Structure 1
Amino acid sequence: MRRLILIRHAKSDWSLALDDHARPLNKRGRRSAPLIGAWLREKGYLPDEVICSDAARTRETFDRLGIEAPVTCTRMLYLAEAEDILEVLRAAEGATVALIGHNPGIGDFAGSIVVTPPAHPRFHDYPTAATLVAEFDIDRWRDADFGIARAVDFIVPRELE
């Protein structure tokens, strides 16, 4: 079995005159990311590998999760589409992998990998810092595909405030 923790970056700051890739988190995002990290620790959903978009807001989200795991930041996840995210996941090596990326790709990917979506009113719009935990009945990530994962848990930061 393989477990995936799929995290959309926390709320970013649009008030700064920076290009999209350089945007940091805003005040709400800086509050939300640690809440998601605490939830992951409380539930025992701890990754042994993290693959993160190289954008400022995704890297800051990871830093604020407070999760100890090796992290790889890659441009391949920056504004990636579902197919690109699957390609990145198939190259993963950990038994439990966290991917941190952006909408709309990450939400599309979440909806595409699970057999049955979680019964959560926010799953289909995948808001900032939304986190899906899904399990794959596979031995290697290279065997991951759409429509084969089981949704284990799903949370949004507002439920943790």
Structure 2
Amino acid sequence: MKKLILVRHSKTEQLYDYSKSDFERKLLPRGQKDAELIANQLKAKNIIPDLFITSKAKRAKQTAKVFAEQLGYDSNNIVKEQFLYDGYTTGEMLSYIEKIGSQHDCIIIFGHNPDIASFTTRLVSDDLWHFPTSCTTVINFNIDNWKDIEVGAGKMELYLYPKMFK
């Protein structure tokens, strides 16, 4: 059994200052708190990833770091991938995950909309119309190796977002 956790980055500052790039947008204090809230929901359910992967964008890296702190993962070991910011197809993401092999049972990926939401809906049969910041899905696959992951084969275990708890 493999578990894939997909997270949309937390709430960020608006892009009012056009001298700053979208890539450099930082989390707001609310985003920090929301990330802590969702990470602690995973911790309470004993869902502890053994591999963290994030977009290289500042807001995604910050979100991943908050989750890592709450879940006891060394933030120095977070894998950073540019393609998670630049955009990807379902096939490209599946190819990336397939290369992980069998050594990790639970991986967490931090990304951006619309790609992270679109990818999630391709993996499960559930219709997800709402994927706000900090939205986190936990998807189970009845496989022993990530090379066997398939579109539509995932079973949604959890669907979480901050306003569920406020």
- The alignment's TM-score, normalised by the length of structure 2, stands at 0.87
* 1:6 matched residue in structure 2: 6
Cα pair distance change 1:145/1:10, threshold 3 Å: same
Cα offset, 1:15, TM superposition = 4.7
* 2:126 matched residue in structure 1: 117
Cα pair distance change 1:31/1:16, threshold 3 Å: farther
* 1:75 matched residue in structure 2: 82
Q: Which of 97, 119, 123 is equivalent to 1:89?
A: 97
Secondary structure class of the residue paired with 1:73:
strand
**AA at the equivalent of 1:129:** S
In the aligned structure 2, how far is the partner of 1:86 from the partner of 1:13?
31
* 2:149 matched residue in structure 1: 144
In the aligned structure 2, how far is the partner of 1:63 from the partner of 1:105?
21
Q: Is the 8 A contact 1:6 1:99 kept in 2?
A: yes
**AA at the equivalent of 1:68:** G
| Segment drifting more, 64-73 vs 29-38 | 64-73
* 2:46 matched residue in structure 1: 44
The runs of 5 or more residues in structure 1 that have no matched partner are none
Cα offset, 1:71, TM superposition = 1.5
Equivalent pairs counted in the alignment come to 156
Cα pair distance change 1:132/1:82, threshold 3 Å: farther
Q: What is the identity percentage for the equivalent residue pairs of Structure 1 and Structure 2?
A: 29
The runs of 5 or more residues in structure 2 that have no matched partner are none
1:35-57, Cα deviation, whole Å (9 max, x unpaired): 01110100111100011111100
Q: Is the 8 A contact 2:26 2:59 kept in 1?
A: yes
| Segment drifting more, 6-15 vs 74-83 | 74-83
In the aligned structure 1, how far is the partner of 2:87 from the partner of 2:47?
24
**AA at the equivalent of 2:126:** P
* 1:25 matched residue in structure 2: 27
**AA at the equivalent of 1:88:** Y
- The alignment's TM-score, normalised by the length of structure 1, stands at 0.89
**AA at the equivalent of 1:57:** R
Cα pair distance change 1:29/1:144, threshold 3 Å: same
In the aligned structure 2, how far is the partner of 1:38 from the partner of 1:91?
29
Q: Which has the larger radius of gyration?
A: 2
In the aligned structure 1, how far is the partner of 2:131 from the partner of 2:108?
16
Cα offset, 1:27, TM superposition = 2.5
**AA at the equivalent of 1:159:** M
Cα offset, 1:146, TM superposition = 0.8
